Amino acid sequence: MEKYMKRESIGVLVSGAGSNLSAMIEAGLSIAVVVADRECDARWVAMEADIPFRVVRWEEYKDARDMSAARNLFTQQIVREMRRHEVTLVAMAGFMRILSWHMFEAYPQRVLNVHPSLLPLFPGAHAVCDALAAGALETGCTVHIATEKVDDDQYILAQQRLPVFPHDTEASLHTRIKAIEHRIYPTAIKEYMDQLKNRVPI
């Protein structure tokens, strides 16, 4: 566990409950800062673990000239927060905003995401609902390297499938998916950090 703490410093991006954040903390990952786009329950998870929590409020950017300008300014502010906390790896954990190229330029191949479907199936913000609506007999979750393309399936680090039951609701299915995410995301992050050890540091 020690070696991860010394070599990489993780910045986690959240928008919601923070259960994946909690799983990362329990797995002993070294988290320098948690950044949210809104007030959310993940704040309390971070607070309890004594991790700085910052809100870069999307609402304050969304009235910029256009969506692209808003996204650029918003992302640049998040990058500033990451740098201020000397983050070397960014982990999105239920972050419900699209980031601009600034993030991927600042952290090339160093932004990870967990998504509640078997990518490339059901990308987007309603993956669990979409799987149910499509009558999928199985779904799952994916850990991947994030790029400017939302829910990019080009670099998949881990994936696990699970059955969809006939009586499943969005909530029941998402709960089972999250239970898997909590296992595979921290493990995939650790494995990826091991791979990064052999690369030139950013």
* Contact residues for ligand GRF, defined by CB under 6 A: 14, 16-20, 93-94, 114-116, 177-178, 181
> How many Cβ atoms are within 10 Å of 114's Cβ, its own excluded?
28
State the catalytic residue, choosing from 102, 115, 144, 182. 115
DSSP conformation letters of 148-180:
SSTT--SSEEEEEEEEPPTT--HHHHHHHHHHH
CB of 195 to ligand GRF, least distance (A): 22
CB of 149 to ligand GRF, least distance (A): 16
CB-wise, 41 or 86, nearer to ligand GRF? 41
Q: Which of 101, 189, 199, 179 is nearest to 143 (CA)?
A: 189
Which residue's beta carbon is nearest to the bound ligand GRF? 94
Question: Is-catalytic flag, 115?
Answer: yes
CB-wise, 108 or 124, nearer to ligand GRF? 124
Cα distance between residue 31 and residue 8, in whole Å: 9
Backbone angles phi, psi at 29, to 5 degrees: -70, 145
CB-wise, 79 or 91, nearer to ligand GRF? 91
Query: Catalytic residue numbers?
Result: 115
